[in-house]
Structure 1
């Protein structure tokens, strides 16, 4: 049996040959088949070559989800250039910092999205017109900037096309594919480098457990600048030969129409999004009958909804290129494994160690999770290998967890997020899970305040009170884990986030402190709109 394609170009060519007429990517305004995606990205690759982009060139891409994003990203990566997806949430100073960290040489950016004018902001921050040569010390590597429109319109002649094909044929599985920015909840963003072979191996390892095959029509709203969008969306669909359905700005009614129109079979959005869509679908009579088990439970018929806690919580990170452990998404876990993340996927070794000594711990002992294997990151921008890996190749994740005797992994939060309350350990992630299990809660964000005290910002339905939340969560959490500071929110948009989309903990603490309105004997809710 021939080896599976392990570079973007070879995979895309094979997918177009096998299923030329199958839709590859669909958004509300456009769609393209695998044949069209192959031909379109190849044509654009020739234009990139004509513009001086080649193997190893670092190309930043700042644009919203859609077919155009996918076509551009695949054109960049198929010739061996390194894709640097950039967040549409970035402010100009944040954008400059990431361009510098990743040594971006060419930037392709949307003019505007959701009120943010990226090129105008960059022009003002650099105090120059965005024409080559830029020659600005803050971004010394940057030599060319294109609008998304002009960048996607680059064309090359036959000679450039021949060079593009030759470059694509020379790419190896070990060559860098992408630099994805991530940050811990307390850290500065870092550029994580992945290879073609590592990224595709990580994606393939989880396809079966994620219930994805060539017949899947996968809805995924996660931004493509996150590993959850690029890896679990774009490359997952490509590796499986599936259809990816996405949108730049999810909206309840608009998303329902998209799900109905495209007969989406697998919904992998956010839990709170699924709950809002389920309520709207029931009110509007929307037809979501194409959805199958493995989708978010809220959108499935009652008889297909699993009992709470019976399915695995897929777990991974940017450094592991998405989930590295799981369990079939349409199957209940064995009773002893409920609450776990499933078992590690093939290609990833998992150890749980004493973070002080690095010694492996016995089953069911909580320690730091270490990873090793061919699917992990190549490295981190600006850091030596010795700074990223141990001498024998283990990556120290900073996550806390335990492995049971059957190899199921249980996650227990971050090592830097553990809080001691009156001498007892509290993991904010555990409190968040308990709050999110309540039917009236659409989202929960938990942190600590000086004291120390546990504080929670909770996105919940109208009419919800702190008293009711506190009473319900006390049935599943020990008393010392129950938040003493509460802020009830009507929308997730009120939760502060950084440029990578993760919750900005310092800003969240400031919000909770400023709006602190409930103590153990006070019932004001602090609801904000």
Structure 2
């Protein structure tokens, strides 16, 4: 783990290509190297230095990349903030991370971000994006080491308060590098990724993956089928990653895109490049592991015995399964809690001690359920707090979701417990009778949903500030549904 953001930027400066492209502008590797150095020195001139916590609140684009990497280059701690936050949620995260300087847009998509500075004792200054971008310095930058903090990334599960997860330059870059082959990202890749940069899926799998590979990142702040198609064609995109539902919506609009390579989301691949259901791994990870820690090359079928799995843990990640009651290591094939350990995992969590974060052996309890097979492939079974009993039998929502997603015409499915029964919210144009009949062919009787909610648009699902489906809100919706 010898890299820092600054060393990678300097190493890549000689590449004669764009590093990031949005709908209006592009930044070459040389421009990114010089631009981040200039802005970083300008920030130092205002009193920001190594260890200063700097929040960034703005939509995807070349400006986000330049400002974020400038902050990281001088050794300040980047705190990406979601443009989906309500004012109260924003203030809570600013307090949690003790943000000292905030670079922010005034509004995005009609949402404004009023800041009550008097309630934030650590916050010294709020910067407009233009003011920050025009900073111009030439002085020396602090020396940054791989062990120095890089970012505080906020995350939450499907329920519960967000956590501020701390990562260092070394652990974050090493985690991203370990998954490049599984993501099929190389120097020749032109990657389209719409995921917000304020999530680890955008920052790690997008910005840092491209930076480490010497590839080109294509993004947009407001994806629509029309704008995305135009951008894909204009920028000759070869790899489409991101949200499956976005890919499916785009495929309904335009059909398969023959310019895309295997490893892209399959809804947009031509039929001859698609795999059979379950044959390809679903990259699996979390903010605490700085993205995927488990996978398999996205353009390659796994052995049939591993179909439906998340692939194998990447080099540098130690994964074990523990008994839910005793915490002891569980035998091969047994479902238990997934715990992770290694040089790529988080350095800590804001306002939480090491003893409250890691086990005595140094493992981080993920809260995810899974099992490892004899060949080391990891199968995910949902969250520990999602698992529930129906008539004494254990139901893993992820298993039911996989079955429902396999039904023709189903675009999304979410499953939870409702009044002691299996409840499912399904985005589809199919009827409940069709869904139930198809589910009987794939699931044991006690796993078949008895409480259904059919939706026509995934936007109708309740979501929290991190964009994940809010389980409490989902249960409330399903509780209003009638059992057929």
TM-score, normalised to structure 2's length?
0.98
Quote the RMSD (CA, aligned, Å). Answer: 1.3
Counterpart pick for 1:149 among 104, 108, 130: 130
Alignment of 1:17-416 (within 5 A): 17=14, 19=15, 21-118=16-113, 121-122=114-115, 126=116, 134=117, 136=118, 138-156=119-137, 161-164=138-141, 167=142, 170-282=143-255, 288-416=257-385
In structure 1, distance between residues paired with 2:389 and 2:326: 22
1:430 lines up with 2:399 in the alignment: yes
- Residue in structure 2 matched with residue 457 of structure 1 by the alignment: 425
Are the aligned partners of 2:18 and 2:29 in contact in 1 as well (CA < 8 Å)? yes
Deviations 1:433-463 (A, max 9, x none): 222222311111221112x1221221124xx
**CA deviation after TM superposition for structure 1 residue 142, in Å:** 0.7
- Specify whether residues 5 and 32 from structure 1 end up closer, same or farther in structure 2 by C-alpha distance, changes over 3 A only: farther
Distance 2:400 2:126 in 1: 45
Residue 475 of structure 1: aligned partner: 441
1:10 matches 2:7: yes
Structure 2 gap ranges (5+): none
Deviation at 1:44, TM superposition (A): 1.1
Q: What SS does the aligned partner of 2:183 have?
A: coil
- Give the corresponding residue for 2:389: 420
Q: State how far apart, in whole Å, the 2-side matches of 1:48 and 1:492 are.
A: 41
Shift of 1:485: 1.6
- TM-fit CA distance, 1:340: 0.8
Stretches of structure 1 that go unaligned for 5 or more consecutive residues are 127-133, 523-529
Contact 1:108 1:146 in 2 (8 A): yes
1:1-36 Cα shifts (integer Å, max 9, x gaps): xxx86100110110112x1x2110011111111111
Q: Distance in 1 between matches of 2:446 and 2:132?
A: 55
8 Å Cα contact 2:381/2:397 also seen in 1: no
Kindly state the Cα deviation for residue 151 of structure 1 after the two structures are TM-superposed.
Answer: 2.2
**Could you tell which deviates more after superposition, 502-511 or 55-64?**
502-511
Contact 1:110 1:149 in 2 (8 A): no
SS in 1 for 2:237: coil
Report the Cα distance in structure 2 between the residues aligned to 1:362 and 1:447, rounded to whole angstroms.
Answer: 27
- Larger deviation: 76-85 or 259-268? 259-268
SS of residue matched to 2:385: coil
- Note the C-alpha offset of 1:504: 1.3
| SS in structure 2 of the partner of residue 319 of structure 1 | helix
C-alpha separation in 1, matches of 2:147 and 2:254:
46
CA contact (8 A) 1:456 1:483 kept: yes
> Distance in 2 between the 1:83 and 1:366 partners?
37
Decide whether aligned partners of structure 1 residues 13 and 5 sit closer, same or farther in structure 2, where only a CA change above 3 A counts: farther
SS of structure 2 residue aligned to 1:257: helix
Match in the other structure for 1:527: none
Offset, 1:220: 0.7
Q: How many Å separate the matches in 1 of 2:322 and 2:315? A: 20
- Take 1:91 and 1:147, find their aligned partners in 2: how far apart are those partners? 19
TM-fit CA distance, 1:235 = 0.5
**1:290 shift after superposition:** 2.1
Cα drift, residue 186 of structure 1: 2.2
CA contact (8 A) 2:426 2:454 kept: yes
Q: Distance in 2 between matches of 1:247 and 1:439?
A: 30
Q: Is the 8 A contact 1:227 1:322 kept in 2?
A: yes
TM-score by length of 1: 0.89
**Secondary structure of 1:146 counterpart:** strand
> Structure 1 35/252 Cα, relative in aligned 2: closer, same or farther at 3 Å?
same
Matched, 1:508 2:474: yes
- CA distance 1:186–1:356, change in 2 (3 Å): same
Contact residue 111 and residue 148 of structure 1 kept, 8 A: no
1:5/1:11 contact within 8 Å kept: no
In structure 2, the partner of 1:131 is: none
Residues 128-163 of structure 1 show CA distances to partners (whole Å, capped at 9, x for unaligned) of xxxxxx5x2x3111111112222222233xxxx223
In 1, distance between residues paired with 2:415 and 2:57? 30
Deviates more, 1:196-205 or 1:358-367: 358-367
Residue 430 (structure 1) shift: 1.6
CA shift at 1:509, angstroms? 1.6
